[in-house]
Structure 1
């Protein structure tokens, strides 16, 4: 790898796929996996804990949305990872998750469970900007879409596993919900151990004025041909680490675009997945085995992500997003307009929504990491995640109320309107970043080809 890397025009952006990239992709996918697991296991657990803890519709909605509320708070910690680095928080945020997961086993009231699930959400929400920023800053441009896409697939894998585990644990008896909720500690412990020893991002180190450490990491990962000039950003293109940077003249449209389509994608989706068993019962599907039905629906989202990994590089980000939202809207309209059947139309609605959601789902992590520079990349991921989770919280909290008051048909039509909003946002605001280096996508042009000043001072060979 070293000899080939040394001969490439940009040994970092054009690097070959390596075992390091594979491991980093898997480890960074841990947060999304646990997010999908935690948000989905509650759907099965609610069927038992609702009578056990005497939950009314308000508490059912609050507990269903509690982890999303925590993700909103945790996402704000993206600013922390831009200021203090990716590596440290990359591991310790899962320690909080493990503790909160175990404590769920011992709850005896609705408010205790609500608080613990908010804490779980904070841990998961904090991991999003940390892990995806770190992954993006090591990813070659050819593989960046795929690597970020795998983290999205991991979300649905986590959701699918959660439904299967939940359905299996129901056999334990009326206390099975305790084991379901505590089970997220198991993958949490495994991921903490696997993430130990992950290097810090060289882009972040260079931006912090630590060129020696940045160069050391670069050459350990990419070989002796890698140099600071391959990741350096022109001085005039650098920005400061601040929440307000996301709303300045350069980036405000990007912030609106990412937060807007992100919200339109996840608000109906999270509501559907959190109350998947309830929805399937209302459609009179999979009676008695709605957990398995939810696992099947979640698996369809995985299938939808696979062609999207190819389409985002083949057709481009913009075309894939516009087409995906258009078909997803049609799927939601079918679910709303034909809520009472026939069965094949309901199945078609689910299929269209799930199979074509892959593009927007992958872009939820790819877009903010590509469109914002190192100084605010974690902040951008965190803030856009926070904004999207406001919509997701609203959808998840209001879904049981809407189902009870208006029925499944009108409720799904509201979801169709939200999804159509995502189509309009992409139509008018979506940029194209296919094939660009990370510097080009985030600041508008590549770094200069001459040696970066910080490297000249180090007197290192190239």
Structure 2
């Protein structure tokens, strides 16, 4: 990703411009690192599921609970983290959530029962949920409009990369080096430690400071870290400093943004999380015993779709990469469900097509929340939507093993198609076009 040189104005030097560019790169790295970590902890479970199940003597119910534990943790961590980010600021939470993750991740080395592992995974999910609520708003509040889509979309590239790396690393650590499943799961601890070091010294969001009527601090940080032409937009921010409350999200001013982002995100991630987490067992149901290649194939194709989406998003716009792709996913999943005697090669091709096109709306789930919610509720709005989406992702991951065994593969895929269709319909109705607009413009046009 290239960072174009900011336009210098009076008072700016080449040194200050270079400093701002380096800061934006650093901000992107620490944000994408958090998303890489999220994908990693979710992907690392799959390769060691069999040995974890045997080692702890757990049932399929416990297997689903542990796999979905981090997702359910995100359900609680996202809204709570969003509330805290709007009330106390972005900066403190951006550090504290990673400290919580580091401690809980390290606890995986020592778990001895299914309940202990579930609790640890829940804590990790709470930390990641808080990361969603503060990371994306913080990036959006510093990023210039012309690069905002690509910078925030890069976080989803990191998520898929983390998921894919975890799947491959887990397989290698388990099958080649014969590490214990506890050690494999605990590898996320070292990634968290690096991210904590990288976040030391990051500034508070000037938009949040301005919204809190701390004008001098906001100006000082904005002039130091942001392009001069973007500072004027901060001064257009509301200074109501309204109390961040969940009920505010359902007021006449914000309900459309809340409904759209929550439903859109829910329907985008629910089928993918379930299918990707148990890729090996899903593919086996269709006589596709692909092992490592199957799981990596779905993740690699999804990653390619995300990269293409990120490259196009600030050029072709948001809606063009949101609405059509969701309808394609609906058709593909319905085809898999209805084509009972499809050849194995055709089924694999359809799963790969789904993974590729689902990358479009999944990438937009990282961008839309920070654009349609204004500063005063950006954290809590993003957190609520992330938490709501993880209800679907968690339930899908938890119920997929049971559904495949009791309803069958065809019925399970038709349910997934129905969820994708709901998301496509909501996006067709409510998805805005925010390309190239400032945050003040995107929020004002959608909440008034």
Superposed pair shares fold, TM > 0.5? yes
Q: Distance in 2 between matches of 1:85 and 1:285?
A: 49
Partner of 1:333: 334
Q: Distance in 2 between matches of 1:433 and 1:3?
A: 21
Shift of 1:312: 2.9
Shift of 1:190: 0.7
8 Å Cα contact 1:326-1:423 kept in structure 2: yes
8 Å Cα contact 2:268-2:420 kept in structure 1: yes
1:405-416 alignment, distance < 5 Å? 405-416=406-417
Q: Distance in 1 between matches of 2:187 and 2:388?
A: 29
Shift of 1:37: 0.7
401-410 vs 155-164, greater mean Cα deviation: 401-410
Gap regions ≥5 residues in structure 1: 9-14, 446-462
Q: CA, structure 1 residues 318+226, in 2 after alignment: closer, same or farther (shift >3 Å)?
A: closer
Matched, 1:267 2:270: yes
Deviations along 1:60-112, whole A, 9 cap, x unmatched?
Answer: 11111111110011102211011111111111211111111121121111101
Which of the residues 24, 27, 46 maps onto 2:27? 24
Q: Distance in 2 between matches of 1:398 and 1:332?
A: 17
Shift of 1:340: 4.9
Shift of 1:144: 0.6
Which of the residues 180, 185, 189 maps onto 1:185? 189
Secondary structure of 2:112's counterpart equals coil
160-169 vs 315-324, greater mean Cα deviation: 315-324
Which of the residues 12, 17, 41 maps onto 2:44? 41
Shift of 1:341: 3.3
1:88-237 alignment, distance < 5 Å? 88-171=92-175, 176-222=180-226, 225=228, 229-233=232-236, 235=238
Partner of 1:363: 364
291-300 vs 77-86, greater mean Cα deviation: 291-300
8 Å Cα contact 2:74-2:128 kept in structure 1: yes
Q: Distance in 1 between matches of 2:440 and 2:29?
A: 24
Partner of 1:319: 320
Shift of 1:20: 1.9
1:233-312 alignment, distance < 5 Å? 233=236, 235=238, 240-287=243-290, 290-312=291-313
1:364-443 alignment, distance < 5 Å? 364-443=365-444
8 Å Cα contact 2:30-2:198 kept in structure 1: yes
Deviations along 1:416-451, whole A, 9 cap, x unmatched?
Answer: 111111111111111221221110001239xxxxxx
Gap regions ≥5 residues in structure 2: 12-17
How big is the alpha-carbon RMSD for the aligned residues of Structure 1 and Structure 2?
Answer: 2.4
Q: CA, structure 1 residues 234+58, in 2 after alignment: closer, same or farther (shift >3 Å)?
A: closer
Q: Distance in 1 between matches of 2:375 and 2:442?
A: 11
Q: CA, structure 1 residues 294+235, in 2 after alignment: closer, same or farther (shift >3 Å)?
A: closer
8 Å Cα contact 1:35-1:158 kept in structure 2: yes
Q: Distance in 1 between matches of 2:343 and 2:148?
A: 42
Shift of 1:216: 1.4
Q: CA, structure 1 residues 377+327, in 2 after alignment: closer, same or farther (shift >3 Å)?
A: same
Q: Distance in 2 between matches of 1:3 and 1:179?
A: 45
8 Å Cα contact 2:373-2:443 kept in structure 1: yes
Q: Distance in 2 between matches of 1:333 and 1:16?
A: 51
Partner of 1:64: 67
TM-score, normalising length: structure 1: 0.89
Partner of 1:349: 350
Shift of 1:299: 1.3
Q: CA, structure 1 residues 2+268, in 2 after alignment: closer, same or farther (shift >3 Å)?
A: closer
Partner of 1:452: none
Deviations along 1:330-387, whole A, 9 cap, x unmatched?
Answer: 2212332346531231122112211112221111111110001111101011000111
8 Å Cα contact 1:273-1:294 kept in structure 2: yes
